[in-house]
Amino acid sequence: MIYFACNNPEKWALLDQLSIPYEVLKMRLRPEDRSDLNETPFNDESASTYVQRLALNRAHVAWDRAQQRFMFPRPVLSAHTALSFKNMILERPGSEVEAFRMLKMLSGQTHQVLTAVALIYKEHTACVLSVSEVKFHELSDETLFHYIENEEGILEKRGAYEMSGLAAAFIESINGSDSGIKGLPLYETSQLLESLKHFNLTPSVGGFVLYQKALEKI
């Protein structure tokens, strides 16, 4: 059994594919909810540094929260995804106008999708990075207006799109990890979980019988 510091059901579905028993630790993300994490990039921070910092921060916050609540000590897994175009990190759009501008900028271009996955267990800390390239075909203004009008939660999406939404039709080609683009690269995640094998996670430590068996299948 592990803790998964994640609010996104689509990422839960990805982790389900690894047959790893887990418990979700939801994170507060909005300022009005006393956000656990500040997702604003630092000045001149690269996208790779940014996603790894956020993934590690999320895992540390979740680990500390579990300890404060006297929860059973289990490994904490977390992930963070960002889009990068010409060394610029694309955040969530602040308006539909900004969403249009972002998507117009990506039209006919290749951008990067970076996902960092972090794992913390006691003194053990590890983080891996998945980088994929996504190319959009040329998008007309009419196509973008239709998308913005019909896509749900567009202002909650980094770069104004998600691969699982209507924007999937914008994608001409992908070079990299499909699961990484969706927010949890399964190969890298399985390698992180493999790193736990040297810990003495015995059957007496609640739930690790299933956990050890699941690791053997990876």
Query: Cα(205)–Cα(201) distance, rounded to whole angstroms?
Result: 6
Cα–Cα nearest to 55, from 40, 77, 36: 77
Could you tell me the two tokens for 193?
């979980």
| Domain ranges across the chain | 2-217
Q: What is the arithmetic mean of pLDDT over 151-159?
A: 94
Q: Report how far apart, in Å, the C-alpha atoms of 63 and of each of 38, 49, 193 are.
A: 17, 21, 16
Question: And the tokens for 214?
Answer: 């699941």
On the 0-12 / 13-18 / 19+ scale of CB atoms within 10 A, 11 is buried
For 133-182, the DSSP string reads EEEE----HHHHHHHHHH-TTGGGSGGG--TTSGGGGGEEEEES-HHHHH
Nearest to 100 by CA among 142, 156, 149, 144: 144
Nearest residue to 75 via CA among 92, 62, 89: 62
Measured in degrees and rounded to the nearest 5, phi and psi for residue 24 equal -80, 130
Reported as a single tens digit per residue, the pLDDT across 21-32 is 999 998 765 554
Query: Which of 64-73, 137-146, 204-213 shows the lowest mean pLDDT across its residues?
Result: 204-213
Q: Residue 38 has what pLDDT?
A: 83
| Of 38 and 46, the one with more pLDDT | 46
Q: What is the pLDDT of residues 94-122, one digit of tens each?
A: 999 999 999 999 999 999 999 999 999 98
Residues 115 and 81 sit within 8 Å (Cβ to Cβ):
yes
pTM above 0.85, yes or no: yes
CATH class label, 2-217: alpha beta
Residue 20 has pLDDT above 60, yes or no: yes
pLDDT of residue 197: 80
Residue pair 206/72 in contact by the 8 Å Cβ criterion: yes
